[in-house]
Amino acid sequence: MDTKMYNMWLQYDSINNQTLREQYTEFFSKVRLIGNSEIFDSIKEELEIAVDKMLQQKVGWTASDDAKIVIANSSDWNIKAVEGLNEEGYTIVSNGNQLKIIGNSDRGALYGVFHLLRMMQMQESITTLSIKEQPTNPFRMINQWDNLDGSVERGYSGNSIFYENGKIVEDKTRIKDYARFLSSVGINAISINNVNVWEEETYFITKKYLPEIAEIASIFRGYGLQLYLSINFASPIAIGDLETADPLDGSVKNWWKDKVREIYDFIPDFGGFVVKADSEHRPGPFSYDRDHADGSNMLAEALEPFDGKVIWRCFVYNCLQDWRDRSTDRARAAYDHFKPLDGRFHSNVILQIKNGPMDFQVREPVSPLIGAMSETNQMMELQIAQEYTGHQIDLCYLIPQWKEVFSFDTYIQGEGSTIEKIVAGQIHPYRHSGVVAVSNIGNDENWTGHTLAQANLYGFGRLAWNPSLESETIAKEWLKQTFPQNNDVEQTILDMLMSSWPIYENYNAPLGVGWMVTTHLHYGPSIDGYEYSRWGTYHFADRDGMGVDRTKETGTGYTEQYEEPNRSMYNNLDTCPDELLLFFHHVPYKHTLKSGKTVIQHIYDTHFEGYEQVLGLQKKWDQLERVLDEERFNNVKERLERQRLNAREWRDQINTYFYRKSGIADEKNRTIY
């Protein structure tokens, strides 16, 4: 398949600028590769694809010293590693006569090649370059939530590219293309099955599936990605002959050691396990009166001889708790479960912590657990899939949200202890750290359902590589590589992307309260209907006010999990940021925000405004009809119309609910149904 929708940001459109075309043509007339590996095979193939499409010529491969482009692993070329750069780093240097891409590893050389191709797609000169690059985060990982039946949990882009009808796909071409896309933005690890591991998927770690999974691992290996598998903690019972999965039981430990040895026989560079345990009905060590350290360490010991890792998710809470009890707070759960265990986890265990304390809401504070454990490896989990931000039907460019998370100062070791530095391993001496995200791709022709949602996948990779990149910079990169180079196209879509998160927040749940979504589906409003709120609501709205009291004095005490000055800032009604007010405080509807509006008027205004803003997005997009290809234009046009209907429903249901609940009229006398 070779369409504009399918190719995402690796369009490799023909270069029409004659000066640049001649420049690129000259360089690619003589190209020397110094390296011999699966990754160098991928480099060669990618260059042949790109040069053929951009320049309509063949790469002039040579072994001569007078090559115009030299691509090498520093060790293969018998030169010193690039000083000051880590193993994945690279340098690109050119003087007009010769261009050199030198990586400190094969993977580094591959990233350098994709950097060069990115510059060419953006139509930049490559005659005089002096570039040194390395990733900020050691782990830059994607989690697939794909199931063997071909479905994707929280997937909004068709079915799985890995599985169909209870089998691993035979044609793995699309998997290879996915590897290309991920590698081009620096992703270096991937787990390929759902963290909720159900019946048949438990057998992925057996000979029944390992030969085919090894094929997939080989594909990703060629693009610098290490493969992981999600596992069922109760596997010794489910697929073994044991009656227990107790992590301290000797027979269970031996079972896992044998199982791990078998996996590495098939996949010598296997990354390790991703584990969701004791959450949302998944089995775990709690069944045996053990804790998370006991459970993860048992697996870590089995993986350690092979340099394997255990990535243990901290999304652990009691989904059956009684929400009417206001002392019970889901937001506290991860910190309460894991903070006391700091220092007990093995060095090859990494705790995977969601960016917020709840569950990828359109607005929530940063999880206080990130950085709170100085002796335990941590990585932060983001969600590219728009589970609570529009299902890739509604436009929501997530990079600005993630930038706010990265820049948040935890004060864990005083001022400057930002999330960016913590997950990069610069605050605590973590042996392993980084960023992981839930994927948003499926087998839709354009991969992501909404063509503009491709920007979130691209943006995650670039931000994981370098969190200091600006949201607008990332968006411009993606636009220049994805769409025709046209100032009107670029500026229009850039404006749409950069305004999309605030627009979605305007017609969604207000002021950080979250959760007003339909049961299970999580799309569209249901103010009291979230599935785990059947004993009460998350927002605690009554006739007098709304919001969740998480203060030390009268609430759940959640604010105490933060370091000062954040603790006092959130705890104090006067200093709590408006955008998170209802997450931390229960206030009257007539409470005055820092904007000067009351809470109830803010709700009315933002929901009316959000709908009007969606109409504005539609008008902007319609202006591009004559300059864009028909399939991508129509795809986005159809999604924006569905977003309009969703925004209208949110506007009408939210405003009606709170008008009836509060009895307070809209100051502007707009119609509320």
| Whether residue 128 is found in the same domain as residue 209 | no
Mean local confidence (pLDDT), 520-527: 93
Amino acid symbol at 456: N
- Residue 225 scores a pLDDT above 60: yes
pLDDT of residue 327: 59
Going by C-beta distance under 8 Å and a sequence separation of 6 or more, which residues neighbour residue 65?
none
On whether both 538 and 438 belong to a single domain, the answer is no
Q: What is the pLDDT of residue 538?
A: 79
Q: Is the pLDDT score of 76 beyond 80? A: no
Q: Do 225 and 76 have their domain in common? A: no
Q: Could you tell me the CATH number of the domain that includes residue 519?
A: 3.90.1330.10
The residue from 133, 161, 183 where one domain ends is 133
Question: What is the per-residue pLDDT across 261-286, written as a single tens digit (0 to 9) for each?
Answer: 999 999 999 999 999 999 877 889 99
In the predicted structure, residue 27 carries a pLDDT above the cut 80: yes
The HSE-up count of residue 77 (CA atoms within 13 Å, CB side) is 22
What average pLDDT does range 235-261 have in this prediction?
97
Q: Is residue 672 part of a domain?
A: no
Which residues are annotated as catalytic? 280, 359, 387
> pLDDT (tens digit, 9 = 90+) per residue, 582-623?
999 999 999 999 999 999 999 999 999 999 999 999 999 999
Say what the pLDDT of residue 534 is. Answer: 47
Assess contact for 584 and 559: CB atoms under 8 A: yes
Question: Residue 669 domain-assigned?
Answer: no
Name the percent of the chain in helix, strand, coil, to the closest 5: 40, 15, 45
Average pLDDT (410-424) is 98
> Structure tokens of 470?
């600006």
Say what percent of the chain tops pLDDT 70: 97
Cα(507)–Cα(644) distance, integer angstroms: 11
Q: From 100, 133, 166, give the residue that closes a domain.
A: 133
Query: Tell me, what DSSP letter sits at residue 306?
Result: G
- Same domain? For 432 and 511 the reply is no
Taking all residues of the chain, what is their mean pLDDT, rounded to a whole number?
Answer: 95
Residue given tokens 């652990």 in the structure block: 316
- Residue 243, pLDDT score: 97
With 60 as the cut, is the pLDDT of residue 510 above it?
A: yes
The count of C-alpha atoms lying within 13 angstroms of the C-alpha of 343, restricted to the half-sphere facing its C-beta, is 1
Three-state DSSP class for 180?
helix
User: What pLDDT was estimated at residue 317?
Assistant: 74
Confidence of residue 535 (pLDDT cuts 50, 70, 90): very low
Would you say residue 559 lies in a domain?
Answer: no
Tell me the pairing of strands 99-103 and 90-95. Answer: antiparallel
Does 451 share its domain with 525? no
User: 127 and 150, same structural domain?
Assistant: no
Give the residue numbers spanning the domain of 320: 139-482
Give one DSSP letter per residue of 352-409, joined into a string: EEESSSSSS-SS-PPPTTTTT-TTS-EEEEEE-S-TTTTTTTS----HHHHHHHHH-B
Whether 564 maps to a domain, the answer reads no
Tally the domains of the chain: 3
401: which 2 tokens? Answer: 């949200």
User: Is the domain of 103 the same as that of 176?
Assistant: no
Q: What pLDDT sits at residue 84?
A: 86
Dihedral angle at the C-alpha atoms of 540, 541, 542, 546, nearest 10 degrees?
100
Question: Mean per-residue pLDDT for 331-360?
Answer: 97
Residue 9 in any domain: the answer is: no
**Mean pLDDT over residues 493-511, rounded?**
98
Secondary structure of 563-616 as H, E, C letters: CCCHHHHHHCCCCCCHHHHHHHCCEECCCECCCCCEHHHHHHHHHHHHHHHHHH
Domain end (from 94, 113, 133)? 133
| 497 domain-assigned | no
Q: Are 140 and 439 in contact (CB under 8 A)?
A: no
Q: Examine the domain organization and report whether 532 and 433 are in the same domain.
A: no
The model's pTM = 0.97
Same domain, 68 and 196: no
421 and 464, same domain (yes or no): yes
Q: Is residue 421 located within the same domain as residue 514?
A: no
Asked, for residue 492, whether it belongs to a domain, the answer is: no
CA dist 453 and 207 (Å) reads 37
Residue 55 has pLDDT above 90, yes or no: yes
Beta strands in 166-222 (DSSP E): 167-168, 189-191
CA–CA separation, 444 and 158 (whole Å):
5
Q: Which two tokens stand for residue 1?
A: 């398949």
198-222 pLDDT, tens per residue? 899 999 999 999 999 999 999 999 9
**CATH number, domain with residue 270:** 3.20.20.80
- The C-alpha atoms of residue 642 and residue 638 are separated, in whole angstroms, by 7
Residue 339: per-residue pLDDT? 98
Find the CATH number of the domain harbouring 35. Answer: 3.30.379.10
Radius of gyration (C-alpha) of the chain in whole angstroms: 26
Q: Is residue 670 included in any domain, yes or no?
A: no
Q: What is the mean pLDDT of residues 441-464?
A: 98
pLDDT value, residue 233: 97
Q: What is the pLDDT of residue 263?
A: 98
What mean pLDDT is predicted for residues 167-183? 98
Give yes or no: residues 464 and 601 share one domain: no
